[in-house]
Amino acid sequence: MATTRCPICKRRTVRKGNPYRPFCSERCKLLDLDNWLSERYRVRIPTEASSQSEEAVSRPQAGTGNHD
């Protein structure tokens, strides 16, 4: 039987037939959700990519200006 470790409590849990997969229990699943909602987890954006996207937003695109 394939097992994995719960990302929250690190206990071994069975993958197949586990409704809380990859977690071992509903408690661990809810703790993970709380971590996301409380912003304890963060997804980082590389600085180069964020500066390029800011430039694209602030720079008007060709052909979109007003023609009076």
Residue 35 lies in a domain: yes
Residue 16 · residue 23 · CB < 8 Å? no
Residue 21: domain span = 3-43
Assess whether pLDDT exceeds 60 at residue 50: no
Task: Report d(CA 47, CA 16) in Å as an integer.
Answer: 40
Segment 5-12 mean pLDDT: 96
Flag whether 60 is in a domain. Answer: no
DSSP string, 6-22: -TTT--EEESTT-TTTT
Tally the domains of the chain: 1
Widest CA span in the chain: 72
CA pair distance 37, 28, nearest whole angstrom:
14
Give this prediction's pTM.
Answer: 0.59
